[in-house]
């Protein structure tokens, strides 16, 4: 494995390929993991999911969460495990009603009034989230030395979209209406989320996470000024709080759909790596993002679903452009549930063979 040491290489976990790549080294072949690598496309996941009953019970039962976290690592030999949980455990831990309905996605008791906002309760956060920390400890002790363990949380903006809309949304009119209105109420919600998210990420490192990822799935729906205020600023604050406790832990930001805003995001938040979605041009990412931080991405999840030679050549193109600098191979968004597991094996083999 050839490596070129970059000046900002961090000390902790230096032997792990993922940590080295995010720390600024050019690692060849690049480390690979996949967003949503544990999930319904795997028969062994569906079996555990069935025995757990509902999705939140699975997230909150440490033995089962640890088991499904490890499944894709054992099956595919990936360079990282990402702890099995969800970004919506934070609203749940703050006392908001959260349910996952079969075939419908998440359903939350929408927060629209000051009264509902004030009913959010930070005092039992750690207690509610502790099953995730137990699962992290179990996974951490079970993983081979070279494999990194990733902890994660949703970014405040993305989590707020679910809290205010009451679930997934097509046009984000309720949450945008609130964010654009100039009222202080939305800032108060985001401040609560900055506190809770920072604590949750710090606790995940305490429990054994080597790397953190902050998912901002809906960063791409905001106009520039709002993107700076509600995506960049809160994540910058979270990064600085986590760094104060754990200066050595690399952080990946994933502001999906941010377009040219990726540059501003990478510089202003201080993340160690950015996850790019599949629409980000590779040459631009190499010249304008890898000069600031490491880059992770960005195979289209449909390309993985389709597989075959088209998948291999798309992956080769990504590695040939981004693999000359600090780079982590991943998808541009999560694995789709109809993806054949054999395609994941073929992808891992291909990325390691280029």
Q: Which is nearer to ligand CP3, 6 or 128 (CB)?
A: 128
CB of 88 to ligand CP3, least distance (A): 5
**Residue at shortest CB range from ligand CP3:** 217
121 is annotated as an active-site residue? no
Q: Please, are residues 275 and 238 in contact by the beta-carbon 8 Å criterion?
A: no
Query: 316 an active-site residue?
Result: no
What is the dihedral angle through the alpha carbons of 266, 271, 276, 282, rounded to the nearest 10 degrees? Answer: 60
Q: Closer CB to ligand CP3, residue 46 or residue 267?
A: 46
Closer residue to ligand CP3 (CB): 36 or 112: 36
Instruction: With beta carbons less than 8 A apart as the criterion, state whether 16 and 22 touch.
Output: no
Between 40 and 316, CB nearer to ligand CP3: 40
Report how far apart the first and last C-alpha atoms of the chain are (Å, whole number).
12
Strand partners, 106: 100
Give the active site residue among 36, 75, 99, 229. Answer: 36
Residue 82 C-beta: closest distance to ligand CP3, Å: 4
Is 162 one of the catalytic residues? yes
Is 133 a residue of the active site?
no
State both tokens at 317. 């193109």
Out of 10, 20, 49, 60, pick the active-site residue. 49
243 carries an active-site annotation: no
Walk across the sheet containing 294-299 and list its strands.
Answer: 80-82, 148-154, 211-215, 251-254, 273-275, 294-299, 327-331
Closest approach, Cβ 38 to ligand CP3, in A, equals 4
CB atoms within 10 A of CB 119: 13
Other Cβ atoms less than 10 A from the Cβ of 240: the count is 12
Shortest distance, position 190 Cβ to ligand CP3, whole Å = 17
User: Given 79, 86, 210, 277, which residue is catalytic?
Assistant: 86
Distances (CA, A) of 135 to 4, 33, 54, 85, 160: 34, 19, 17, 10, 26
Nearer to ligand CP3 by Cβ, of 86 and 237: the residue is 86
- Binding stretches for ligand CP3 (CB under 6 A): 35-40, 49, 55, 82, 84, 86-88, 100, 105-106, 152, 168, 215, 217, 334
**In the complex, least distance from residue 312 CB atom to ligand CP3, rounded to whole angstroms:** 23
Can you tell me the distance from the alpha carbon of 286 to that of 284, in angstroms, rounded to the nearest whole number? 5
State the catalytic residue, choosing from 41, 92, 133, 162.
162
- Considering only CA atoms, which of 93, 94, 83, 95 is closest in space to residue 58? 83
Task: Just list the catalytic residues.
Answer: 36, 40, 49, 86, 162
């Amino acid at each position: 494995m050839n490596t070129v040491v970059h000046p900002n290489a961090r000390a902790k976990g230096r032997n792990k390929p993922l940590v080295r790549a995010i720390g600024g080294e050019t690692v060849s072949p690049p480390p690979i993991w996949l967003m949503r690598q544990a999930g319904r496309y795997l028969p062994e996941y569906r079996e555990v999911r069935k025995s757990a009953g509902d999705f939140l019970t699975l997230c909150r039962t440490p033995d089962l969460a640890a088991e499904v976290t490890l499944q894709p690592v054992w099956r595919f030999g990936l360079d990282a495990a990402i702890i099995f949980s969800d970004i919506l455990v934070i609203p749940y831990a703050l006392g908001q009603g959260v349910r996952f309905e079969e075939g419908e996605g998440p359903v939350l008791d929408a927060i629209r009034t000051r009264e509902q906002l004030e009913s959010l309760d930070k005092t039992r956060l750690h207690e509610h989230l502790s099953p995730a920390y137990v699962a992290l400890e179990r996974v951490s002790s079970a993983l081979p030395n070279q494999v990194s363990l990733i902890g994660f949380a949703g970014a405040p903006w993305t989590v707020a979209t679910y809290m205010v809309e009451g679930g997934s949304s097509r046009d984000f009119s309720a949450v945008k209406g609130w964010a654009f209105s100039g009222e202080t109420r939305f800032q108060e919600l985001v401040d609560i989320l900055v506190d809770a998210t920072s604590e949750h990420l710090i606790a995940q490192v305490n429990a054994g996470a080597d790397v953190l990822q902050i998912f901002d799935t809906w960063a791409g729906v905001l106009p520039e000024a709002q993107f700076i205020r509600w995506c960049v600023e809160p994540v910058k604050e979270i990064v600085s709080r986590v760094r104060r406790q754990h200066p050595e832990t690399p952080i990946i930001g994933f502001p999906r759909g941010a377009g040219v805003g990726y540059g501003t995001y990478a510089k202003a938040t201080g993340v160690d790596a950015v996850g790019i979605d599949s629409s980000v041009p590779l040459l631009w990412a190499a010249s304008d993002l890898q000069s600031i931080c490491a880059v992770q991405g960005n195979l289209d999840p449909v390309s993985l679903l389709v597989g075959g030679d088209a998948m291999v050549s798309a992956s080769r193109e990504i590695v040939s452009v981004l693999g000359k600098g600090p780079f982590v191979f991943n998808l541009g968004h999560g694995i789709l549930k109809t993806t054949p597991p054999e395609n994941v094996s073929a992808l891992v083999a291909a990325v390691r063979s280029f």
